[in-house]
Structure 1
Amino acid sequence: MPEPSAPEKQYNANGRDSVTLAESEKAPSRIAESSDDTTVQVSTVQPVNNDNDPASDPLVVDWDGPDDPENPRNWPARKKVTIVGIVAVASLVSPLASSMVAPGVKLLMDDFGNDSPLLSSFTVSSYVLGFAFGPLFLAPLSELYGRSPVYICAWICSLCFTIGCAKAPSLAAFIVFRVLAGMSGVVSLANGGGTIVDVYDVHQRGLAMSIFAMGPLMGPVIGPVGGGFLSQAKGWRWVFWFLAILFGFTSTVSILFLKETYAPILLERKTKRLIQETGNTELHSKFGSKKSPKTLFWTAIRRPLTMLATDPIVTILALYIAVVFAYLYLLFTTFPTIFAEQYHFSRGTQGLAYIGLGVGCLLGSFFTALTSDRVLQRLTKKHGKTKPEFRLVSVMITCWAVPGGLFWYGWAADKRVHWIVPILGTTLFGFGLFGTMMPVQTYLIDSYKLYAASALAATTLLRSLIGALLPLGGLNLYKKLGIGWGNSLLAFIALAMLPFPFLFYRFGERIRVKFRREY
């Protein structure tokens, strides 16, 4: 009787010796054990579709179990801190560039022979206009080609465009370079949340996001402090030479130390390595896609706009964040005039008016860092499951500080009370600003795991558009209504938006289920 033929053998996705097809059907794959919920944030790359469970498919390349050292979630703490630290420093430099020129705007306008108040404000806010459109391209590019190369290329572009600002021969050229610098400089803000999702589990993200977000909120605050003295001593162009040095430093450090963190890219590299080692060309990444990069790219660009138009959580919270953020830049563009006229601050000391905002943002950062993950863990233990809405508990406390700070600052400055009093009002506003924006952004990340980058891009688009345009009317608002009533109007709008975090805490889960869809 003839011997039965040996079972057919093939290389599995780990590149081990060989495994029979029968064995592969009996045993779960050693490489597909990670949770789709928390392992990776994916926007443009989708898991491959298999008729059978991918975990049992020996041709699907995944991590080698939950403790795979190649998985960024399992990297040593020092390596994670280094990567997030580089991105956090870059997220400080770009917002720093957005406001550092504010105290020197009069010198800039005099140099170009223009006295338009509207253009004067736009020289500052035009950088934020670049923030609106950059994420639409930078986020999907990072998901097609990896975080690291997009970070590095964008920071080098920021360096070049900032040098362009320093050497601009005309106001028009300056504004063009300024917008382009904003579009490229926003990369750390656009992709930083995705990097944190890449390397940290859900219960660690609150603290990581609080540390990372200190840059975007502290940068615009401390920028004018140094910018005021630098422009007075060396001229406004030296502000941009200083910023170019910072972008050059960031680019150099990122080239040397920034590692790739995006799981689909890492698994794609692993797949290519295993194909080369085993010769099995049928191996494919868990996150592989049959769609072309061009199709994925344009789908990813449309997705934030679709979410902004159709998802009520994204729409309303993006509007809420946009209004609060726009108030910040309205204060940036009006502080020099207000404190010069009301308190006779010199160009150098005008930058000191921003310190109150900085202290407030720091306090908001500490509050968020101390409460965000603790509240999440406590409520998870109480309810037996984790809900993204738990992130909004702290917002229900801090949101009151935004209108409160505006009332305080506006009427203290209007009545010319001692200058420290309105600055203390801006401290309260800064606390509310940080304590509101960061938990809301973390809530969006936790709610839209698969499309977190797109949800953040949608909020960045709206907040940057409003943040660039609202400050243009700041001085006219104060001229017509006065400083007191002008800020009161802003505060009343903030008060009208206070119910949002309370409503989403109560009904957010129901809304997410009702409007859940594949974008």
Structure 2
Amino acid sequence: MASKTEDVVALGEGDARGHIVDFDGPGDPEMAINWAPRRKWLNVLVLAAMTFISALGSSIAAPGVNQAIVDFDSTDQVLSSLIVSVYNVGLAIGPLIVAPMSEMYGRLLPYHVTNVLFTLFTAGCALSPNLPALIVFRMLAGMEASAVLTVGGATVADLFVQEERGRAMAIWTFGPLMGPAVGPAVGGYLTEAMGWRWVFWLVTIAAGVFTVIFFLVVRETYPPVLLQRKVDRLRRETGNPHLTSAMADTSSRRSRLTRSIRRPLVMLFRSPIVFLFSLFIAVVFSYQFLLFVTIPSVFGGTYGFSVGETGLAYLGIATGLLLGNAVFGHLADRLLTGKAKLAGVTELKPEYRLPLMIPAAFCIPACFFIYGWTTHYALHWIIPIFATSLLGLGLNMSLMTIQVYLVDAYTLYAASALAAATVLRSIFGAFLPLAGPPLYEALGLGWGNSTLGFIAIGLIPVPLLFIRYGEAIRTNPRYQLTL
């Protein structure tokens, strides 16, 4: 173990700051990336569980929307869709706050604050006296849910080296992908059995329990915060108040806050990689929510499904997500190291993971062509449900590949890169589903879904572009952002 003096790297005699403190090399046990595997995986599993609950809240209300509308004496179909999609408005706003906070004060503080508020606002949904109150509480709950959904990927980056990151991301991403997919199945039967308010009570209880577990288990992982704690400890032990962190930002708090808040938007609009990948996943993610708000009318009207049976129709998406999770978890890290070995290099380039997106990109338009025309002609219900599994497969493999790519490419600012992607996908997820009922009414299920399929075909060149030119764009001085 290093001594106290070995922890400190002395500067020149005339330096006003005294001494600079850094980690004791890449193997320093105080760095989260060097924690024992059991400790790292325990943090990831609890984080994944809380992420699952937060994501579950996005769609679990969908089957109970009609019952809630009746209770509130409303017939507005746009408002009924808004009950589901307004959660994504919150998910679009929240990252612009929590991602900068996580890069200024560490991961843990935003997690604890937002977990508590998420639990309280979800309880507010259950107690809502009218439709406007329900919509407002849904948006506020979505804002708080954004913390684990946005910062979670950055925590994984803090804990795992690049060649181990794919499997860890697959575990964490299980939550934000599976939560929305299984939510309607749970919500459908719970609404039938106990009413729509109990859907929110279930999420409140689960969130409350895991908020406590989160507080007891999850620890700070952000390197600058861990290093500052080391500085504080050494100041006490050595009596030297002039010790300074090697990662310290000497600018004013206001300047740091302004820069941190701007960072996700700067990355979104000035980096072609962040923008195009964010756009890709925003479209695909919004397609999932479009299905969420239209499946009840399609399977209830065309196939005569009950509320509970309609909830089970969402399990096609869930099956595809599970398959995609298994494939990505098995192949992502192997592909990364295998391509590096094949190229005869030691550098693990983020682009080496991108080939996984190619089959995923083809699954998405295939889903909508099959789903659209089989429901149009009312073919057996198992066929459109199978088609939705293709969306789940494509969404999972695309989202996980993009998230790991952004983390690998922007490690220190991974939270901001993921926040940029989350903002755009949440905006699309909030508003594009509102176009679902008018689209189907104007074009029918066949051509309406085919339109979505044609748009998805236009996204296929995106991964091909970055497989070929990603490194050149990423390292081009023109796109080196001042963050």
Q: TM-score per shorter chain, which class? A: over 0.9
- 1:101 maps to which of 44, 48, 61: 61
- 2:440 maps to which of 469, 478, 491: 478
Say whether 1:493 aligns with 2:455.
yes
1:143 aligns to what? 103
CA drift at 1:30: 5.9
Q: Could you say what secondary structure the match of 1:343 adopts?
A: coil
The within-5 A match list for 1:116-515 is 116-383=76-343, 384=345, 385-514=347-476, 515=479
How far apart are the structure 1 equivalents of 2:106 and 2:237? 23
State the AA in 1 paired with 2:418: L
How far apart are the structure 1 equivalents of 2:356 and 2:118? 35
The answer on whether the counterparts of 1:89 and 1:215 sit within 8 Å (CA) in structure 2 is yes
State the AA in 2 paired with 1:347: V
How far apart are the structure 2 equivalents of 1:100 and 1:70? 40
Relative to structure 1, is the Cα distance of residues 417 and 15 closer, same or farther in structure 2, using a 3 angstrom cutoff?
A: same
The answer on whether the counterparts of 1:135 and 1:190 sit within 8 Å (CA) in structure 2 is yes
1:41 aligns to what? none
How far apart are the structure 1 equivalents of 2:3 and 2:122? 46
CA drift at 1:502: 0.3
How far apart are the structure 2 equivalents of 1:187 and 1:14? 37
CA drift at 1:99: 0.4
The answer on whether the counterparts of 1:144 and 1:293 sit within 8 Å (CA) in structure 2 is no
State the AA in 1 paired with 2:372: G
The answer on whether the counterparts of 2:361 and 2:459 sit within 8 Å (CA) in structure 1 is no
Moved segments of 4+, more than 3 Å: 29-32
State the AA in 2 paired with 1:366: A
How far apart are the structure 2 equivalents of 1:386 and 1:78? 25
State the AA in 1 paired with 2:405: Y
CA drift at 1:449: 2.2
How far apart are the structure 1 equivalents of 2:282 and 2:24? 42
| 1:177-235 Cα shifts (integer Å, max 9, x gaps) | 11000000111111001100111000011111111111101000101101001111111
**Which TM-score applies when normalising by structure 2?**
0.96
CA drift at 1:298: 1.8
Q: Could you say what secondary structure the match of 1:230 adopts?
A: helix
Q: Could you say what secondary structure the match of 1:175 adopts?
A: helix
1:517 aligns to what? 481
1:15 aligns to what? 4
| 1:436-492 Cα shifts (integer Å, max 9, x gaps) | 111011111111223222111111111100110000110111111111111110010
CA drift at 1:294: 2.8
Q: Could you say what secondary structure the match of 1:186 adopts?
A: helix
**Which TM-score applies when normalising by structure 1?**
0.89
State the AA in 2 paired with 1:518: T
How far apart are the structure 1 equivalents of 2:18 and 2:171? 40
The within-5 A match list for 1:28-107 is 59-107=19-67
The answer on whether the counterparts of 1:122 and 1:472 sit within 8 Å (CA) in structure 2 is yes
The answer on whether the counterparts of 1:30 and 1:65 sit within 8 Å (CA) in structure 2 is no
Q: Could you say what secondary structure the match of 1:400 adopts?
A: helix
Higher alpha-carbon deviation: 290-299 or 121-130? 290-299
CA drift at 1:78: 0.7
Higher alpha-carbon deviation: 461-470 or 437-446? 437-446
CA drift at 1:150: 1.4
CA drift at 1:58: 8.5
The answer on whether the counterparts of 2:48 and 2:175 sit within 8 Å (CA) in structure 1 is yes
How far apart are the structure 2 equivalents of 1:446 and 1:509? 12
CA drift at 1:371: 1.1
CA drift at 1:334: 0.6
How far apart are the structure 2 equivalents of 1:291 and 1:471? 43
How far apart are the structure 2 equivalents of 1:454 and 1:282? 31
Give the length in aligned residue pairs.
Answer: 475
| 1:28-57 Cα shifts (integer Å, max 9, x gaps) | x6678xxxxxxxxxxxxxxxxx899x9xx9
1:9 aligns to what? none
The answer on whether the counterparts of 1:14 and 1:274 sit within 8 Å (CA) in structure 2 is no
CA drift at 1:14: 5.6
Q: Could you say what secondary structure the match of 1:60 adopts?
A: strand
The answer on whether the counterparts of 1:14 and 1:64 sit within 8 Å (CA) in structure 2 is no
The answer on whether the counterparts of 2:46 and 2:218 sit within 8 Å (CA) in structure 1 is yes
CA drift at 1:286: 1.3
Q: Could you say what secondary structure the match of 1:284 adopts?
A: strand
CA drift at 1:135: 0.8
CA drift at 1:414: 1.2
CA drift at 1:367: 0.9
How far apart are the structure 2 equivalents of 1:186 and 1:469? 17
How far apart are the structure 2 equivalents of 1:305 and 1:69? 34
RMSD of aligned residue pairs (Cα, Å): 1.7
Relative to structure 1, is the Cα distance of residues 278 and 404 closer, same or farther in structure 2, using a 3 angstrom cutoff?
A: same
How far apart are the structure 2 equivalents of 1:329 and 1:307? 25
How far apart are the structure 2 equivalents of 1:192 and 1:294? 26
The answer on whether the counterparts of 2:20 and 2:244 sit within 8 Å (CA) in structure 1 is yes
State the AA in 2 paired with 1:491: G
Percent identical: 45
Relative to structure 1, is the Cα distance of residues 232 and 51 closer, same or farther in structure 2, using a 3 angstrom cutoff?
A: farther
How far apart are the structure 1 equivalents of 2:41 and 2:132? 41
The answer on whether the counterparts of 2:8 and 2:19 sit within 8 Å (CA) in structure 1 is no
How far apart are the structure 2 equivalents of 1:517 and 1:235? 51
CA drift at 1:67: 2.4
5+ unaligned residues in a row in structure 2: which ranges?
none
How far apart are the structure 2 equivalents of 1:382 and 1:109? 58
State the AA in 1 paired with 2:195: G
Larger radius of gyration: 1
The answer on whether the counterparts of 1:166 and 1:240 sit within 8 Å (CA) in structure 2 is yes
